[in-house]
Amino acid sequence: MAVRNVREDGDEILRKKSRVVEVIDDRIRELLDDMVETMHKYNGVGLSAVQVGILKRVVVIDLYDDRGPIKLVNPIIVKTKGEQEVEEGCLSFPNQYAKLVRPAEVVAEALNENGEKIKIKAKGLLAQAICHELDHLDGILFIDHMLPGTLEYVEPRKED
């Protein structure tokens, strides 16, 4: 496993549409593992392959709970319900946060790292993370959804 470079605001790849993964092989599994390691290094909740410069429909999410990292290949949202106003950030926009409205609940379908079909019913933060990461796959960024005037920069905390 390896930590990959996270593409940041202004990198044109973040606006590109990712391609469907045709075959889940060792290269895709290695990408997923690298993405989890990269996400954890930067204390992220989610990361899409486009954020590490790979235009594949691959995302990882970790709420740091008992479930552990979720690895999704070719994910799609098949159902949404309700709304929630959330504060959101992005590893590609370090220390920037904005308020936006996301679905309160989603149902997503994807393949796991073994090529098996999975369905995820999500609420709250997990629903938010799924929506955020799947937007990345279509070149959509959280700032595209932000409520006007809510983007703010937060100074990073100094390490002790």
Torsion from C-alpha of 145, 6, 21, 19, nearest 10 degrees = 50
For residue 52, report the phi and psi dihedrals to the nearest 5 degrees.
Answer: -110, 20
Q: Does 62 score more than 60 pLDDT? A: yes
Predicted local confidence at residue 159, as pLDDT: 63
Q: Strands 152-153, 117-123: parallel, antiparallel or unpaired by DSSP?
A: unpaired
The mean pLDDT value for 33-57 works out to: 98
pLDDT over 80 at 65, yes or no: yes
For 12-153, give the CATH class.
alpha beta
Instruction: Check residue 155 and give its pLDDT.
Output: 87
Tell me the mean pLDDT in the region 29-48.
Answer: 97
Kindly indicate the confidence band of residue 156, based on its pLDDT and cuts at 50, 70 and 90.
Answer: confident
133 is catalytic: yes
Q: Summarize the confidence of residues 52-79 as an average pLDDT.
A: 97
Q: Tell me the C-alpha distance between 124 and 122, whole Å.
A: 7
Residue 5 pLDDT greater than 60, yes or no: yes
Q: Which helix (H) or strand (E) holds 120?
A: strand 117-123
Average pLDDT, the chain: 96
- Which among 133, 152, 155, 159 is annotated as catalytic? 133
Report yes or no: 21 and 73 within 8 Å, Cβ to Cβ.
Answer: yes
* Full DSSP string of 42-91: TT-SEEEGGGGT--BSEEEE--SSTT--EEEEEEEEEEEE--EEEEEEET
Residue range 88-125, pLDDT digits in tens: 999 999 999 999 999 999 999 999 999 999 999 999 99
Output the pTM of the full model: 0.95
Considering Cα of 3, then 31, then 136, then 116, what sign does the dihedral take?
negative
What pLDDT does 142 receive? 97
